[in-house]
Each structure stands twice: as structure tokens, then as C-alpha cells.
Amino acid sequence: MMQNIILKRNNKIINGTVNLTGSKSECNRALIIEALSNGKVLVENISDAADAVLLAGILRGNQESRVRNQEILPGDTNSEIENCKSEIVDIGPAGTAMRFLTAYYAIQQDEVILTGSKRMKERPIGVLVDALRALGANIDYEENDGYPPIKLKGGFKQQTNKISIKGNISSQYITALLLIASSLPEGLELHIEGDLTSRPYVEMTLAMLNTAGIKHHWEGNVISIAKQDFAATTLSVEPDWSAASYWYAIAALADEAELFLTGLTPYSLQGDSVITEIMANFGITSQFKDGGVHLKKENKPISRREFDLKECPDLAQTVIVVCAALNHEASFTGLETLKIKETDRILALQTELAKMGVKLIEKDEVYTLDCSGKFIPDNIFINTYHDHRMAMAFAPLALILPQMEFENGPVVEKSYPAFWTDLEKQGFEVEEKEA
């Protein structure tokens, strides 16, 4: 039975400490590196995020999600894959796991079918599959060309070390290739075509590889990694800055706020740490001390009207909802990739913001908020579209709305399973309701 969440807040003063789980982005990179390193690299502080727990299970061998020999996947009864003899790995809704494992299995010997949730079968993988095929991998599509599920047939034989890849669809394809690059017999010279989206995630990958002893050279649009061995090391996963963004949003919508988020540092590998700069525009100061970050709200007029979110797409929902809540009619760019994430996040934002009379209007790839028709509904029902960030980005609105109901509370587990209990600890009323 699906549980909805009823959320209320009876005062607008926030004061407390929050311990966030590890970043799923860092954790999933670390797990692939660990798996490729022949025991040299270990991962410390594995994230509780469901996407990370799932990948750890798959790579460390105690997975429930891995279905062996001829077992039938839920929802796939008519598919050809039900009769196959390969191992089937189901990564559910985990985008990074899908992309990183595609590259990982492409260079292993065993035959594997990689599949995922209904939505995962709509999220494109063709750009990565084309690149891996050019390198020498044997990969077939099981249902629709360009989309999971895919069959990775083993027998990798490197054909070239120079490949090109589009940079503007998902940086996860690039990360996936970089993670396996040093394990390729001839290394990799990766040419990025056009704009690179989500660049900090590529930098995170290279920084983590560097910690694991893998050197790279990045000049212009070419990243090169030679064949080399991993060094013995431990990769430690930092708390999740994307999760921290919801607490920044809560602080921005409160009358008074003092929050301490433990474990976060100013020199994060995560591009989403830019939330400190973004939220400074909304009067939230960030002070790093005592092993974490102290947030404090200062009441001041909002200064910035234009936000380019190309380097931090996972912050888009958080920032747009905060602006809508504060009637700040800002405009946003860099949102192109949002349409192929857990849901079409543009459409989801437009639909849910409309429930309080706010419009998000697109013109030539610039999205502008129109709050002229905004109203405060007595009870708002937020659809979440299997997207953790729809639930978490809208939750701070409980500070300005009398009562909210969220479809499918457990959706947050993908990256931040303790989200609702953390809200409760900070004085929100959180009630489960059978849907």
C-alpha cells in the first residue's frame, strides 16, 4: 500500500541540527572504482540513498535486485528477456547506476542484461552505448533502440582509444566512460562534442579517480586517461549537498532560522554546494565551523533575478519552488536536461506550481515565474511522479501553506530516506496516510 504524507508546520521558526546521509553521486562513483580496483580501493561511509544501497548490493554481490537465469522481472512478462539465459540486473530508477554499470559491464566477460523501472526505459542511453560500441563493446537493445533494457554480451576487445561523445545530454555518460578508462588496455581519449552540461559532476569523477591514483589530462574538450593501476586507498563519501538544499529552502521560507548541517565542508567535490551562493541571495548565510555548516537567516531583499542552473540541475526544483513561494519572479536557464530525469521535471513543476496559481513560462529556453495569479490553497495535493526531488523541493512550502499532502512519501528514499523523519525532528507535523 502506498503511503502519502500529510505535512504541516505551525510556526515559522527553525532551530536545530541535521545529519545528512552521504552523496549518492560520490558513493556510486566510489563503488564502481572499488569494483574495478581489484581490492585496492575501499569505500567508507556508504550512503543510505536507495540508489547507492542498490548499487553496493549489485557490485558487492548480496543483491536482491539481481535476478539469475530465466527468472521473470516484475512487469516484464511479455518481454523477450523473460526467456534469456543471462544474468539480469535491475537498477530500478537509479540513473547513475544505469549509466555507470553500462560501462562497467561492457568490459566484463559475463553476459548481463541491465534493466530498470518503467521510467528508466524512457531515459536515453544511446549516446553511451554508441561510444562503448565504438570502443569495442558488444551491446544489444532488448526492447527499444537507444533505451534500456540492454544486453551486454561480454567479449570486449578494444578497437580504438579515441571516441567522441555529445556533452549536452547527460554528463553521466562521460563519467561512465571516465570511470572505466584506466582499465581499458589502451586507455581513453574522450572528445566532448558541443556544450558540456553538469560539468561539476565530471570534475567530481576526475577528482575521485585522482584520489584513487588515476591521473588524467584535460585540455579543451579532450579528456585523456592512460591505462594505469589504482592505488591502495579509501574513498570517503561526504554528506549530500543536494539534500542540504532542502534545508536551505526551509531556512529561506522561515521567519527565523538557525540550522547546523553536520559534516559538510566548503571544499566539496559536489557542484551542488553552490547552494550556499545561491541562497546567500535569499539572506541565508553559511558559516563553516564545528565540522559542518551553520545556516542563519538574515532578512534582506532578494537581489538576484537570473539563475543559470546548467551546472547544478538537481537544485532547479528547490530554487524555483523557493522563488515561487516568495513571489520572486526570477528567470532560469540551463534546464534542458530536466526533461529526461526521474520525470519531465519541467512539466512536473509547471503542473504542481499551477495548484497555487503560479506559472513557469518558457520562451527560447528561458523559464520565467509569473506569480501574479498566486493564491494560498487550504490543502494542496502534490503529485510526485516517482521523483524524490518533487517531494523534497515542495515540502518547504509547508512553512507558508496550511496543509500539504504528498503522493508516495517513500519516493524520497532514492537519495534521502530520512527526509520525512528529519522534518519531524525539526518540528514539522508529518503524518502517514494510506493512499
Ligand X SMILES: O=C(O)C1=C[C@@H](OP(=O)(O)O)[C@@H](O)[C@H](O)C1
Site residues (vs ligand X, CB under 6 A): 25, 96, 170-172, 175, 197-198, 201, 313-314, 337
Helix boundaries (H) for 107-170: 126-135
Q: How far apart are CA 433 and CA 402, in angstroms?
A: 17
The grid coordinates listed for 321 are 519552488
The grid coordinates listed for 197 are 552540461
Q: Is residue 370 annotated as a catalytic residue, yes or no?
A: no
What minimum distance in Å lies between the beta carbon of 136 and ligand PEP?
Answer: 26
Q: How far is CA 194 from the centre of its chain?
A: 23
Q: How far apart are CA 66 and CA 247, in angstroms?
A: 35
Catalytic residue among 51, 240, 314, 422: 314
What minimum distance in Å lies between the beta carbon of 53 and ligand X?
Answer: 15
Q: Is 198 annotated as a binding residue?
A: yes
Asked if 386 is part of the footprint of ligand PEP (rule: CB under 6 A), the reply reads no
Scan for cell 495535493, then name that residue.
Answer: 381
DSSP 383: -
Task: Count residues near ligand PEP (CB under 6 A).
Answer: 8
Among 174, 183, 415, 419, binds ligand PEP (CB under 6 A): 415
If residue 279 lies in a helix (H) or strand (E), which one and from where to where?
helix 275-280
Helix (H, G, I), strand (E, B) or coil at 340: helix
Buried-exposed string 79-113: b where 16+ CB fall within 10 A, e elsewhere: bebeebebbbbbbbbbbbbbbbbbbbbbbbeebbb
Asked if 94 is part of the footprint of ligand PEP (rule: CB under 6 A), the reply reads yes
Q: Is 158 annotated as a binding residue?
A: no
User: Judged by CB, which is closer to ligand PEP: 124, or 154?
Assistant: 124
Asked if 314 is part of the footprint of ligand PEP (rule: CB under 6 A), the reply reads yes
User: Which partner from the list ligand X, ligand PEP, none does 389 bind, CB cut-off 5 to 8 Å by kind?
Assistant: ligand PEP
User: Judged by CB, which is closer to ligand X: 170, or 182?
Assistant: 170
What minimum distance in Å lies between the beta carbon of 360 and ligand X?
Answer: 19
Q: How far apart are CA 349 and CA 359, in angstroms?
A: 9
Among 9, 328, 341, 386, binds ligand PEP (CB under 6 A): 341
Q: Applying CB under 6 A, which residues contact ligand PEP?
A: 94-96, 314, 341-342, 389, 415
Q: Cite the annotated binding site for 3-phosphoshikimate by residue number.
A: 24-25, 29, 170-172, 198, 314, 341
Catalytic sites, residue numbers: 314
